[in-house]
Structures are given as C-alpha cells and as structure tokens.
Amino acid sequence: MGKGYFDSNNYNTPEKETLSVIEKIRLDNRIYFTFKFASVVLRTRQEAIRKGYDTKAWTDSSIEILRFIEKTGGIFHITGMENITKSPGPVLFISNHMSTLETMILPSIIGPHKELTFVVKESLVKHPLFGAVMRSRNPIVVGRTDPRNDLEAVMNGGVDLLEKGISIIIFPQSTRSVEFKPEEFNSLGVKLAKKAGVEVVPIALKTDFWGNGKLIKELGPIDHHKHIHIKFGEPMQITGNGKMDNQKIIDFIKSSLGEWK
C-alpha cells in the first residue's frame, strides 16, 4: 500500500488565529456542509456505477470529506495511527459507532495502509445514494434482524476476506449512538478475529460533531463546538473465548471517551 495522507502518527487540525469572512460563514452552515457532502457522494456514486471506484478513489474521496469538514469548523484529533501497521497482515478494527462521520473518514486513515472493508447493515448497500459505493467495497452485509444469520455471514465472509488480506472494520453496537452502552457492544468482532487468527486493533471515537438527520439520517446537523476524536489502540491477539479481550476493548473506548468530555 502507498503513503498515507498524514505526515505523523498523530494529527490535529491546525489552529487558525483569524478566520476570513467566508470561513466564518461556513461555520455551522448546514447548507454548505450538505451541499459539499452530497456533491462528493453523487460523484463517487457515478464512479462506482461505472466500476471505476477503486481503493485509491475511495480513500481520496474520504480525505476530501475530512478536509471540507475542517473547512466547516470541524477540529480533528487523531492519535495512535502507528498501531494501524504494527501487524503486517490484515487485522480486525473494532470500534464504537457514533455517527456517519467515522464511516466516511476511517477509509482515509486506514485505507492507504491496508486493503479495507466494513461490516454493514443491509439497508446501507440498498441505499439509493450510498449503496453503489458501499457495494463496490465488497462489504460483509448483516440484516440486524436474525442474530444467527448475521453470525454466519460475519464468520464465513469475514474469514474469507481476511485470508485474502483484506482488513475489516466492525461496529459491534446495533446502531449509531452518542451514548456508549457496553451492554450493547457484542463480541462478534473478537469471535471473528479468534476464528481467523488475526489481531484486533481497537478504535475509540467521538464524532457527535455530525448529528443524525430527521429525514435522511446521514445528512444531519453539525456542531463545530464539538471536537472530533479518533484513537487507535495497540493490536491485540485474542485468547481463550475472547470475553476478557472484548472487555479490554470496551474499557479502552470508555476510558478514551472519559478523557474527551
């Protein structure tokens, strides 16, 4: 894989002492934010339909979204990026899930270093706007209505992808939530990592800068007063039945969220 978009293992959005008139208008401007996001989505949708949307195109569009988030007042704090490549082979990234933002941004951070896909809900691959792009990434699709079928899909599809050298991001929570509830953080990820014999890289994130929309969930309001935090933990080898390791991931996320209050 090629060089990433960041020059070091930690990244913080550069501070600006003064803002131009245009930059002040952009702050908290939902119309500008929605327009820019929609323009990227529509362009990449067409690329995916034409079968021209490869990993490089995916990561390029992801960093484009990150940059215009910064232009609308978003301030990123990304740490621990050295942990992405500590394991030479594919890994399982396990993260809490707070908003649409992480789905759009994580490819720009991880994608330049590892081939990557997601475990996603069936509704996302059928989405009229996002479906073509997500299908182009060959994700693992779950229905969230039949736990047994979801387990089989993740275990069989996940092992196959990992054996092909493709890393996977999984959000064990059933849905996006600003509040992190450990009881809703299932052990599906660690079970897959154990079966595939790969390491887990935990991710803790705080992305409530980007809220959920009422009509279109992915086009919610923004709040530039809330900083965006993404932290990658040390790779973990899953041992035993994985319960202790899953608890370690939960503790990592809880402690990180506690630091960011």
Q: How many residues are present in the chain?
A: 261
Q: Flag whether 102 is in a domain.
A: yes
CATH code: domain of residue 32: 3.40.1130
Distance CA 17, CA 8 (A): 23
pLDDT digits (tens, 9 = 90+) for 16-27: 777 777 777 777
- pLDDT, residue 2, reads 59
Containing structural domain, residue 203: 11-259
243 φ, ψ to 5°? -60, -45
Question: In this structure, is residue 221 part of a structural domain?
Answer: yes
Q: Is residue 1 part of a domain?
A: no
Asked, for residue 6, whether it belongs to a domain, the answer is no
Q: How far apart are alpha carbons 227 and 230 in whole angstroms?
A: 10
Task: Examine residue 128 and state whether it is found in any structural domain, yes or no.
Answer: yes
pLDDT recorded at residue 141? 92
The pLDDT of residue 215 is: 64
| 75 sits in which H/E element | none
Residue 202: strand pairing partners: 94
pLDDT at residue 230, rounded to an integer:
98
Question: Between the CA of residue 91 and those of 18, 58, 105, what are the distances in Å?
Answer: 42, 19, 18
pTM for this structure? 0.93
With beta carbons less than 8 A apart as the criterion, state whether 115 and 228 touch.
no
Quote the CA–CA distance of 185 and 97 in Å, as a whole number. 10
- The answer to whether position 48 is within a domain reads yes
What does each C-alpha distance from 17 to 20, 93, 205 come to in angstroms?
Answer: 10, 36, 27
Structural domain includes residue 2: no
Residue 80 · residue 233 · CB < 8 Å: yes
- Is the residue at 230 inside a domain? yes
Q: Report pLDDT for 19.
A: 73
* Residue 39, pLDDT score: 93
pLDDT at res. 200: 98
Specify the pLDDT at position 1: 61
* Residue 41, token pair as written in the block: 């989505």
pLDDT of residue 160: 96
Q: Given the structure tokens 């991001």, which residue do they identify?
A: 169
Distance CA 170, CA 255 (A): 20
Mean pLDDT, the chain cut into blocks of 10 residues (261 residues total): 85 84 75 88 94 92 94 93 96 96 96 95 88 92 82 92 97 87 92 96 96 74 91 95 94 97 81
CA distance 201 to 17: 36
- Provide the domain count of the chain: 1
